[in-house]
Chain A
Amino acid sequence: MSEKGTSVVVVGGGVTGLSAAWWLARSGVAVTVVEKGIVGFEASGRNGGGCTHYQSPLFHEEQRLWPQMDELLGYPTEYRRGRIIFQVDPRKERFHEGLSLRLPDGYDWEVLSPDDVRDLVPLAGDNVVSGVRFHFGGHANPQRTAQAYAWAAQDLGATILQHTAVTGIATAGGRVTGIETATGTIGCDALVIAAGPQTGKLLAMLGIDLPMAPARAEMIVTEPLAMMPFTGVDGHGLYGRQTLRGNLAYGGGPHEWLDDVALDAAPPKPSGSVTRNLARRVAELLPKAAHARVIRSWAGVVENTPDGRPVIERLSSPGNVTVATMSSVGFGLSPASGHAIRDLVVDGRCSFADLSKLSLARFDGLRADWREHLNWLPPEPAEARVEASGGRAGTA
């Protein structure tokens, strides 16, 4: 058994934990990230790459940081500023009115006419009903960004332990003293738990209940197409973007709630349940790309808390533990969430935002059957409906 004198251990090599490690390392803190698999291989590397989260208290910091991230990290994130959202369903023609209630002051955006949309989005068609353009927000490449955090943290002296699952948490005198792994105990002065769907299980080792439920969500990717002048384009029930390579990468639609995820293995994440439905919507959103070939799909497993909001908090007991679940919206906010975690670990409070409403205490008294109550349950097996479709040539 080895006993390493690390100051901070971060459990979870996703973007939240890696960003936290990078921020801590920037402050000169000795930090070790413990990841059960490969950095960014779960939901952190399997998402739409959006960086536009105006509902979050971290929003202003998210917007401040993204334009600087390539330079700060020293590795590419593929961040591009701005976003166009447009609709092709006439029922959603006035969607910007609901949006306007929610966008914070001080951020520039405008309503686009169908012609405006077609000018900016060459793959759009005659079916556009309305759009908006944000001159803030944007998107980045999740996989590249996750690796960038890991490498940048290493460059500042952080240790990244991949393929290392946590088996226990050691405590003494009301404080965490280290984490246990198959290869030994790693001592620490402070612990950060940012392990996505496994965060609840890890906190349970400390006797703390963090309610969360895991679910699987999917995206599809086409072959590369000619670059549009503006790549942060979505709408019509889809999130996603044209990648800087030219692929259309879009997700959305039904998710599947899972019973549980293991602490020491990658969760199964089959894809294909909504591939055809996603393809239809991409073809409707961007009709001039309807010929583009879908070359893969993938799924990621993410967690949600009962209200869908993050928990970002330094616990009162044990007082040297900071916990972060971003409740399925973590990638874009990661530059800011890492900063907040760094502040909580080092200073005890976040220097740039009030996070009090994201405290775990809000779930005190939560009904025990909350998953049943919210209908956050795996589907019951159901026979497929036999429905020979009309468009098929030669159907008997």
Chain B
Amino acid sequence: MTDVTLPPPDRFSIAGKPAAIDEHVEILVVGAGAAGCAAAIEAANAGASVMLVDENPVSAGLVGMDVPLYYGGRATHAVQTPERLVEKLLEGNPALAEAFEAGVDVKLSTSVWGAWVKGPGLAGLASGLAGLADETRSWFVGFDRLVLATGARDLNFTFAGSDQPGVMGAQAFHALLDRYDAFAGRRLVIVGSGDLALGTAERALARGLDVAALVELRDAPQGSAEAVAALEARGAAFLTGHVPLRAKGGAEGVEALVVCGSGDGDSRREIACDTVVMAVGTVPVIELCDVLGLAREMAPARGGHVPVAAADGATSLGEVFVAGDCAGLGSDAAASGRRAGQAALASLGKSTAGAGVVPDGAAADRPAAMNGLDYQLDFARAMLGTGGADVLACICEDVTRGDLLGVRPPRYLDWRSNALARRDLTTIAADGPVNPDQMKRLTRVCMGACQARRCREQVALMMALGAGVAPETVPLAGYRAPVRPLPLSVIADWQESPEMDAGWNVWFGIATQWIGYEDIGTTREAEQLRAGMPY
């Protein structure tokens, strides 16, 4: 029997090593769209110290990586001139000028890559902490209240050839065309025919672009009848009962889109175009919500996974409020931003300067609730049925739909065995509800440098189809900080505290843990404990 030898008291834990922040604000607002600007202005007018952060305009490098929107290689060289983009951004968003005037500290071209509040596993935080970064460095900002107004991003479906320049998302199209005047295409095919697709077509025509066709899976256009009629009057063609099958292209990317019947891959048409705009739907940007650990719910009529939130934007965490599209698609963004700003102020014991409570116009304004998830599942099913298993489900990691449904290990392992061949999504489902995080680990799907912004939703839909379960039941593939891909040299803390350096150990720094078994209870144990850890 050997008595226990205890290690010295721990000096390698996080205790005593608090993060250094550049500054502390009472209210941090993420996203300078209508909702975020309204929240920031509301808070600043009440005398709170407010910082409003927006990643736009993003660098040309990030545009090339489809971050945060699916730009699809159709930006002009204009995105390489940041000053011009900032000018355009300010021009197109008068609320930003109002925010400046209200005393809001506005930070553009700055991303928030993580946010944390005190809670289980983060007991050492006295107030909220947000990780910010620009092109050259990262830093922390402390906050009392956080308003997330991160908007929505593009929903994507891949098809053969969609991993080439010229396939993009509707939101990215809108940003390049209207916000930055930096869209490189001339002739579009738009996939979808709901209000998002119709709006995309209207904007394209208004800017003198050709709209070759709107491709709709279902048998009739899905958006408002007046808008459809107006577009038809201007010569736009609605190709109903069809889905994209394959993009043909050359050195410059897409040159034509081959579409086929929704249920018949052999009934094909080829449409010349240089750009395919995916306009089936948008997705609430809940990356920071998930990093923070906000309670979530699946709300198909509001865009899928959204934070559980009260009408004033209050969430499951007292420090965090949500506003605009990230809280669920379809709200009146500015009104929801004002409400969240007021609620954040009230939670700090501050009263609102301006008029009273903003009425909730959202319910009335919200388009007739359409189960977006059913529509998306129909697209996924038709595109799987016609395009087949060899189409990439995840572009970054080169994972096909067949790899996903077959739960195949990545090709670089070049692994084959009979045992593995007997495993697929149905055997996984037999062992318990399917979970995208498990598929990520086994197939590498959603694990790439785009952080799964291009594939997360379609992978969940494919999993629902493969496992034969309702798409609502497929959990969210988790988001992880940093929610933007940041170079090691940028995210690195180059001004680390002496406590962090002195209290760093490769593992727990428990000296007794690494004594060789033979030496336990001998004089050699004492010698090694005196000598300290070898490295």
> In this complex, which of B127, B447, B504 has the most chain A Cβ atoms within 10 angstroms of its Cβ?
B504
12 contacts between A and B (CB under 8 A): A144-B409, A215-B508, A245-B397, A258-B123, A268-B293, A270-B291, A276-B493, A279-B493, A290-B488, A296-B451, A387-B21, A389-B20
- Beta-carbon contact of B521 and A357 below 8 Å: yes
Interface residues of B in 472-495 (CB under 8 A from A): 480-482, 485-489, 491-495
Closest to B514 in A: A55
Given contacts A99-B535, A279-B488, A357-B517, 8 further A-B contacts (CB under 8 A): A253-B504, A255-B13, A272-B116, A273-B14, A309-B512, A374-B7, A374-B9, A384-B140
Specify which chain A residues have a CB less than 8 angstroms from the CB of B122 in the assembled complex. 256, 270, 273
Q: Which of A151, A224, A291 contacts B449 (CB 8 A)?
A: A224
Counting from the closest, the 7 A-B pairs by CB-CB distance are A308-B513, A379-B124, A98-B534, A308-B510, A276-B493, A280-B492, A74-B419
CA distance A277 to B223 in the complex (A): 50
- Beta-carbon contact of B10 and A375 below 8 Å: yes
- Beta-carbon contact of A258 and B488 below 8 Å: no
Distance from A171 Cβ to chain B, minimum over Cβ atoms (Å): 26
A1: CB under 8 A from chain B? no
Specify which chain B residues have a CB less than 8 angstroms from the CB of A160 in the assembled complex. 431
Total interface residues in chain A, CB < 8 Å: 118
Q: Which of A40, A272, A290, A377 contacts B487 (CB 8 A)?
A: A290
- Beta-carbon contact of A295 and B409 below 8 Å: no
- Beta-carbon contact of A272 and B507 below 8 Å: no
Q: Which of B22, B441, B449 contacts A388 (CB 8 A)?
A: B22
- Given the contacts A163-B432, A391-B494, A92 and B1 also touching, CB distance less than 8 Å: no
Q: Which of B123, B438, B493, B533 contacts A256 (CB 8 A)?
A: B123
Closest to B500 in A: A277
Specify which chain A residues have a CB less than 8 angstroms from the CB of B510 in the assembled complex. 304, 307-308
- Given the contacts A163-B433, A382-B126, A98 and B531 also touching, CB distance less than 8 Å: yes
- Beta-carbon contact of B20 and A384 below 8 Å: yes
- Beta-carbon contact of B6 and A102 below 8 Å: no
Closest to A57 in B: B517
Specify which chain A residues have a CB less than 8 angstroms from the CB of B451 in the assembled complex. 295-296
Interface residues of A in 276-311 (CB under 8 A from B): 276-277, 279-280, 282-283, 289-299, 301, 304, 306-309
- Beta-carbon contact of A223 and B417 below 8 Å: no
CA distance A295 to B121 in the complex (A): 22
Interface residues of A in 65-124 (CB under 8 A from B): 74-76, 78, 85, 87, 92, 95, 98-99, 101-102, 104
Q: Contacting chain A: which of B50-58, B131-139, B197-205, B227-235? A: B131-139
Specify which chain B residues have a CB less than 8 angstroms from the CB of A296 in the assembled complex. 451, 480-482
Q: Contacting chain B: which of A4-12, A20-28, A233-241? A: A233-241
Distance from A17 Cβ to chain B, minimum over Cβ atoms (Å): 15
Distance from B502 Cβ to chain A, minimum over Cβ atoms (Å): 11
- Beta-carbon contact of B513 and A307 below 8 Å: yes
- Beta-carbon contact of A295 and B449 below 8 Å: yes
- Given the contacts A95-B534, A235-B535, A307-B6, A256 and B413 also touching, CB distance less than 8 Å: no
Specify which chain B residues have a CB less than 8 angstroms from the CB of A254 in the assembled complex. 12-14, 17, 500, 503-504
CA distance A389 to B191 in the complex (A): 48
CA distance A152 to B417 in the complex (A): 12
- Beta-carbon contact of B507 and A151 below 8 Å: no
- Beta-carbon contact of A272 and B488 below 8 Å: no
> In this complex, which of A152, A244, A373, A388 has the most chain B Cβ atoms within 10 angstroms of its Cβ?
A388
- Beta-carbon contact of A277 and B496 below 8 Å: yes
CA distance A394 to B443 in the complex (A): 44
Distance from A141 Cβ to chain B, minimum over Cβ atoms (Å): 9
Specify which chain A residues have a CB less than 8 angstroms from the CB of B22 in the assembled complex. 386-389, 392, 395
CA distance A392 to B510 in the complex (A): 37
- Beta-carbon contact of B126 and A293 below 8 Å: no
Interface residues of A in 233-270 (CB under 8 A from B): 235, 237-239, 244-245, 252-259, 267-270
- Given the contacts A101-B531, A252-B505, A294-B482, A258 and B517 also touching, CB distance less than 8 Å: no
Q: Which of B1, B118, B121, B417 contacts A299 (CB 8 A)?
A: B121
Distance from A395 Cβ to chain B, minimum over Cβ atoms (Å): 8
Specify which chain B residues have a CB less than 8 angstroms from the CB of A347 in the assembled complex. none
CA distance A76 to B449 in the complex (A): 24
- Beta-carbon contact of B481 and A275 below 8 Å: yes
- Beta-carbon contact of B419 and A393 below 8 Å: no
CA distance A267 to B492 in the complex (A): 28
What mask results when residues 392 to 436 of chain B are scored 1 for a CB within 8 Å of chain A, else 0? 000001000000000001101101011110010000000111010
Q: Which of A45, A289, A370 contacts B488 (CB 8 A)?
A: A289
Interface residues of A in 120-162 (CB under 8 A from B): 143-144, 147, 151-152, 155, 160, 162
Distance from B242 Cβ to chain A, minimum over Cβ atoms (Å): 35
- Given the contacts A144-B441, A384-B18, A276 and B138 also touching, CB distance less than 8 Å: yes
A38: CB under 8 A from chain B? yes
- Beta-carbon contact of A256 and B517 below 8 Å: no
Specify which chain B residues have a CB less than 8 angstroms from the CB of A362 in the assembled complex. 1-4
B165: CB under 8 A from chain A? no
Closest to A307 in B: B512
- Beta-carbon contact of B507 and A252 below 8 Å: yes
- Beta-carbon contact of A244 and B514 below 8 Å: no
Interface residues of B in 93-132 (CB under 8 A from A): 114, 116, 118-127, 129, 131
Q: Which of B6, B124, B487, B535 contacts A87 (CB 8 A)?
A: B535
B244: CB under 8 A from chain A? no
- Beta-carbon contact of A389 and B488 below 8 Å: no
B368: CB under 8 A from chain A? no
Specify which chain A residues have a CB less than 8 angstroms from the CB of B420 in the assembled complex. 74-76
- Beta-carbon contact of A270 and B293 below 8 Å: yes
- Beta-carbon contact of B482 and A297 below 8 Å: yes
CA distance A41 to B433 in the complex (A): 14
CA distance A390 to B412 in the complex (A): 44
CA distance A74 to B421 in the complex (A): 11
Specify which chain A residues have a CB less than 8 angstroms from the CB of B21 in the assembled complex. 384-387
Distance from A111 Cβ to chain B, minimum over Cβ atoms (Å): 13
B371: CB under 8 A from chain A? no
Specify which chain B residues have a CB less than 8 angstroms from the CB of A74 in the assembled complex. 417-420
- Given the contacts A254-B503, A308-B7, A382 and B495 also touching, CB distance less than 8 Å: no
CA distance A275 to B133 in the complex (A): 13
A173: CB under 8 A from chain B? no
- Given the contacts A237-B504, A254-B503, A279-B493, A45 and B441 also touching, CB distance less than 8 Å: yes
- Beta-carbon contact of B442 and A143 below 8 Å: yes
A199: CB under 8 A from chain B? no
- Beta-carbon contact of B535 and A38 below 8 Å: no
A376: CB under 8 A from chain B? yes
- Given the contacts A55-B517, A272-B114, A382-B124, A85 and B535 also touching, CB distance less than 8 Å: yes
Specify which chain B residues have a CB less than 8 angstroms from the CB of A291 in the assembled complex. 487-489
- Given the contacts A85-B535, A375-B11, A388-B23, A283 and B123 also touching, CB distance less than 8 Å: no
Specify which chain B residues have a CB less than 8 angstroms from the CB of A366 in the assembled complex. 4
- Beta-carbon contact of B121 and A385 below 8 Å: no
CA distance A97 to B456 in the complex (A): 49
Specify which chain A residues have a CB less than 8 angstroms from the CB of B126 in the assembled complex. 381-384
CA distance A314 to B252 in the complex (A): 67
- Given the contacts A87-B535, A276-B493, A384-B142, A375 and B13 also touching, CB distance less than 8 Å: yes
> In this complex, which of B5, B438, B506, B516 has the most chain A Cβ atoms within 10 angstroms of its Cβ?
B506
Specify which chain B residues have a CB less than 8 angstroms from the CB of A63 in the assembled complex. none
Specify which chain B residues have a CB less than 8 angstroms from the CB of A297 in the assembled complex. 480-482
B16: CB under 8 A from chain A? yes
CA distance A235 to B506 in the complex (A): 8
- Beta-carbon contact of A304 and B504 below 8 Å: no
Distance from A160 Cβ to chain B, minimum over Cβ atoms (Å): 6
- Given the contacts A308-B513, A328-B508, A268 and B119 also touching, CB distance less than 8 Å: yes
- Given the contacts A275-B481, A307-B6, A75 and B417 also touching, CB distance less than 8 Å: yes
Closest to A59 in B: B517
Distance from A67 Cβ to chain B, minimum over Cβ atoms (Å): 16
What mask results when residues 330 to 355 of chain A are scored 1 for a CB within 8 Å of chain B, else 0? 00000000000000000000000010
- Given the contacts A254-B17, A374-B10, A381 and B125 also touching, CB distance less than 8 Å: yes
